[in-house]
Structure 1
């Protein structure tokens, strides 16, 4: 096993243990006890009674049997719970003792108010004990009502929560709230003729517009653990003409043309499969934890050039190349550390190979790489922050995917802060600070034999680059005007600049702005971009702007001229 793989494995195990430790600490800090004694109508303790508690928020359930003295005990997380017993017994909570059950406790009774088989709103506090004693009797009525047989539309998978046992003869609790279905309904009675919609129609499992357990619409465990399976296929074909010099090893060495044949055709087929599992209650509440892994394959990466020395530095390799590569573009764990307040503001941590874009348009850093990220929000999510650290993995030469064979000896530190509705509703401002510590202290040749680091220009010599970026960005709209803008100032030190042949101080800047107005289905847009250059590249000041690892989505994104 290579040193790179051993390091990756050790890093993953470290963050995985940290992830489990955080879960354990959080669980230990938020647990309380629910205890009591169960008796029969004569006050004698009963053993072997199945006692059931249900979290009224999440639907999580737990059952236990009473001991020889009728005692029961639950270790529960903080929250509100419902207490009952299972068949063949039924609880008989005393309405006259409502205050003894708790300040907010609510007794559930039938229409006669004589049978009270459940107690709700039992509040469990951290490291506190709640004691509830009650009596039980034999269940007299048989089950008359069955759960809802209308299966939900779409592909629901296996039910993740069993329905509760029936306690009344005219109703029954259904705990799997995600799978309460609707009957098929043809509103106009014409089976959707003339292109009209048919609401609540049954769909196929492979229909992406239908609810599906495979894409996280239904839970797979309980009411709050979901799974997402996805696959993405990307096909890229590129034809280019790039001048290349001739030599004795050229495809046509007898040509008197100083340039060889410039045409080349490349094709790259990338397949990515993703598995994600997370625990969460709703779309607007942050996830409690999540894990995701995305194996990615380049099958194949093909290049056909008309000149030698293009696909490989060795001209004997010819003009064609077919390459395959497997990678991990995502492999991370995430856990919510704590809630900031009761409005779903939070602080979470994510560690592993993960995507990250440092600003709205990806001007300075945009990559999927190995790192750790602390993030969260406050003030009703109007303010958000990121603190991130990445230890860059080398990229595969031909596919551009993570190589998993070697670190790049480059560390990136990022901090940013967002504020929504900044002076204007719908406009978000972002302040960013980044530090690039590029310890490129070695010669690095890619898999095709070409020297890529240090750059083969001037006096190529391994050197260090340490640079800090300070930026202000904005995105949103001010009235009818859509606005995106960005400005960065970078300063630092290049230990040895190959062109200047000496140490250089880095002082550079860039700015970009895009204004647009929407009219019906049209968007009228104007974009401008500026980056400082270096009018004297041989002095000790480097004023030409360069990013860390950019992927700008600006003025056409990857299809624009300067990308």
Structure 2
């Protein structure tokens, strides 16, 4: 439908005379009870019959008029009029209805009309009805309409949608004209939002009529554009291979080789450099050969300085879409280089040979990721899928890293269903040996396997809460292994040590333990909640402390509640692992993990979590670096799990501060105590050993200068004030750690 608008204001007597002349040439408009003119029926108000009235020569001050003509839209050049068109005008406020019929020339006039908002309906035989939903008439105003009707035959034969160049501009929202003016409308059918075409749903338009095909949308060059002279992140920034913040082919923003690999194959290169420093004081037993002649103390100087520089590169080639939809296939390779240096003050710490001195520098190159991933099947339209991944890969068994966090060779099946509300993993791991000083992988196979499955259920009990169920099986076969510094780590050099070589005897130290866990993370209104529980069941074929085969029955529990207020998160938490009350019986009740790295109770801002504390000169550690459990194992990565240990109870209080969007602060306090001390008393031939370990204090900051993860500066300090139980084993000297790191990522 098409109607045009023009405005004229009678400002002079000459214009009024011209108007009267035009009115005399048009057929008269009368109410229905007056005899109709030979060329046009008059307008009527259906609710009230009025007396005969001629169109006045001058408009009334409180009424409005509507006139115009109706033509056939199929003949825009000839403008063929449409006669006998029924026009119905309904007042939207009062409900009054006015009607009229067009003349043989398609001319119509409705007059007088009260000012207000109206709905106009135009109907004619063999034509599609036209409805103008909202038409406002002002007092002392004449509105002229030019209406184009589309024949029903044209609508039925129409088989395509309007193409973009054929659509005219939308009607401008101009201000209402002043009283006493004219308005003319030029209406287009395809730009009227109130006009609905009844196109059959079975008739689909050709694709070329709806879309403009672009062979390679990635090849569209962006024009040179700079609105301001200042530097910054503006639209149309030119791409540079060294710029990770803007469009970059090497960061997966566009296909890497569209001519050969297609337009859905991307490459994401990631390079990171992390420099880490840790200055600490930890208990260091003095050996027979000491660095300082004449020193007679059992404990030597425990100050140490450790510096580590790592370079990590990731090559990630994948096929699919860059967001939402899971990739069709992926190949990822991640090598890592480590350069580290350790400086100590006593002999026999960096190696069993005291001739090694007090300083050690080591380098290692490891392959941390090397896997192939393939999507096996799409399970539904909401991106539910099932995929398989084989090779060296990262894996975390739960929310906070209580059970298993590592990079090991594995075959993994994973995916989700129920519109992503349920996620699942099923993985089988075959372990590799680790480098002692860097923690990176080697290419030497270790006789340890882990079978693990877990499932995440979103909105499990209530919206915002995600539950996780875990089942794992740890099979660690007997073996003899010395670490890269020359220390024996398998079997643990404590208690009864037997020959682990195959064929040496019927008794070999092997671990067969299953884990079953229920964990949760989420929030209830403004209360954040995290909890975990693990049950360990199985056997140790020869535990060195018990000196016999033992059955394992141990538990772990953890819970954290936090509350966000403004820019501070307040949190309290507790951590518990069961301890063994009788180290010489056939039941092991001390809990131990597979390879844990808990982000809990302060994480690495806790001295007890960050630092490894040697258990005197026994060759095992009371607690390993990056663990909360006093497991008495020789090494977390290279040793074997030990379920005859004292266990622990930890109570935590802390706060996280979002000081600025770039700067965060952390404060943490832990109270630590042994759950049982019988295993410690047995190994040290000392009784009693009390339960209190001490108080652990920690503070830290994290600064991100570009407000992203590309540059992260971290620093902190932590200290352990020994309690009575810790003093019974070591000394009362305060232990501390000062640390900092700088990480840069491309």
Work out whether the TM-score is over 0.5: yes
Q: How do 1:14-53 residues align onto structure 2 when only pairs under 5 Å count?
A: none
Structure 1 residues 535 and 418: alpha-carbon distance in aligned structure 2, compared to 1, 3 A threshold: same
Q: Classify the secondary structure of the residue corresponding to 2:604.
A: helix
CA RMSD, aligned part only? Answer: 2.6
**Counterpart position of 1:313:** 352
**Counterpart position of 2:307:** 267
**Counterpart position of 1:191:** 229
C-alpha deviations, 1:369-423, integer Å up to 9, x for none?
Answer: 111100111111111110000011111011110021x222110000111111113
**Counterpart position of 1:257:** 297
**Counterpart position of 1:545:** 591
**Counterpart position of 2:364:** 325
Q: How do 1:438-453 residues align onto structure 2 when only pairs under 5 Å count?
A: 438-439=476-477, 441-453=478-490
Q: Classify the secondary structure of the residue corresponding to 2:551.
A: strand
**Counterpart position of 2:398:** 359
Q: Classify the secondary structure of the residue corresponding to 1:316.
A: helix
**Counterpart position of 2:740:** none
**Counterpart position of 2:281:** 241
| 1:216 has 2:252 as partner | yes
CA contact (8 A) 2:237 2:246 kept: no
Tell me the distance in 1 between the aligned counterparts of 2:411 and 2:529. Answer: 31
Task: Give the drift of 1:326.
Answer: 0.6
**Counterpart position of 2:382:** 343
Task: Give the drift of 1:561.
Answer: 3.6
Tell me the distance in 2 between the aligned counterparts of 1:468 and 1:106. Answer: 65
Q: Classify the secondary structure of the residue corresponding to 1:562.
A: helix
Tell me the distance in 2 between the aligned counterparts of 1:509 and 1:262. Answer: 33
C-alpha deviations, 1:431-462, integer Å up to 9, x for none?
Answer: 000000010x2221111111111111111234
Tell me the distance in 2 between the aligned counterparts of 1:110 and 1:504. Answer: 79
Q: Classify the secondary structure of the residue corresponding to 1:458.
A: coil
Tell me the distance in 1 between the aligned counterparts of 2:453 and 2:411. Answer: 12
Q: How do 1:29-178 residues align onto structure 2 when only pairs under 5 Å count?
A: 173-178=213-218
Aligned match of 2:417 in 371, 374, 378?
A: 378
| 1:292 has 2:329 as partner | no
Tell me the distance in 2 between the aligned counterparts of 1:432 and 1:392. Answer: 20
**Counterpart position of 1:126:** none
Structure 1 residues 106 and 433: alpha-carbon distance in aligned structure 2, compared to 1, 3 A threshold: farther
**Counterpart position of 1:7:** none
Structure 1 residues 496 and 275: alpha-carbon distance in aligned structure 2, compared to 1, 3 A threshold: same
**Counterpart position of 1:514:** 560
C-alpha deviations, 1:499-551, integer Å up to 9, x for none?
Answer: 11111111111111111122222212111111111122221111111000011
Q: Classify the secondary structure of the residue corresponding to 2:608.
A: coil
C-alpha deviations, 1:244-299, integer Å up to 9, x for none?
Answer: 3334422124322222222221111111111010001241111000000011111x
Task: Give the drift of 1:111.
Answer: 9.6
Tell me the distance in 2 between the aligned counterparts of 1:205 and 1:477. Answer: 42
CA contact (8 A) 1:192 1:198 kept: no
Tell me the distance in 2 between the aligned counterparts of 1:106 and 1:452. Answer: 77
Where structure 1 has 5 or more consecutive residues not aligned to the other structure, the ranges are 1-104, 113-167
Aligned match of 2:267 in 227, 252, 271?
A: 227
Aligned match of 2:493 in 456, 480, 484?
A: 456
C-alpha deviations, 1:32-84, integer Å up to 9, x for none?
Answer: xxxxxxxxxxxxxxxxxxxxxxxxxxxxxxxxxxxxxxxxxxxxxxxxxxxxx
| 1:421 has 2:459 as partner | yes
Tell me the distance in 1 between the aligned counterparts of 2:288 and 2:574. Answer: 45
**Counterpart position of 1:476:** 522
Larger Rg: 2
What TM-score do you get using the length of structure 1 for normalisation? 0.66
| 1:465 has 2:465 as partner | no
Q: How many residues get paired?
A: 395
Task: Give the drift of 1:107.
Answer: 12
CA contact (8 A) 2:481 2:490 kept: yes
CA contact (8 A) 1:247 1:253 kept: no
Task: Give the drift of 1:313.
Answer: 1.0
Tell me the distance in 2 between the aligned counterparts of 1:182 and 1:424. Answer: 48
Task: Give the drift of 1:184.
Answer: 5.4
**Counterpart position of 2:469:** 431
Is 478-487 or 467-476 further displaced after alignment?
Answer: 478-487
CA contact (8 A) 1:431 1:471 kept: yes
CA contact (8 A) 1:469 1:489 kept: yes
CA contact (8 A) 2:447 2:479 kept: no
Tell me the distance in 2 between the aligned counterparts of 1:455 and 1:543. Answer: 18
Task: Give the drift of 1:354.
Answer: 0.1
**Counterpart position of 1:101:** none
Structure 1 residues 182 and 483: alpha-carbon distance in aligned structure 2, compared to 1, 3 A threshold: farther
CA contact (8 A) 1:184 1:199 kept: no
C-alpha deviations, 1:113-170, integer Å up to 9, x for none?
Answer: xxxxxxxxxxxxxxxxxxxxxxxxxxxxxxxxxxxxxxxxxxxxxxxxxxxxxxx9xx
Q: Classify the secondary structure of the residue corresponding to 2:352.
A: coil
Task: Give the drift of 1:208.
Answer: 2.8
What TM-score do you get using the length of structure 2 for normalisation? 0.50
**Counterpart position of 2:318:** 278
CA contact (8 A) 2:433 2:442 kept: yes
CA contact (8 A) 2:287 2:348 kept: no
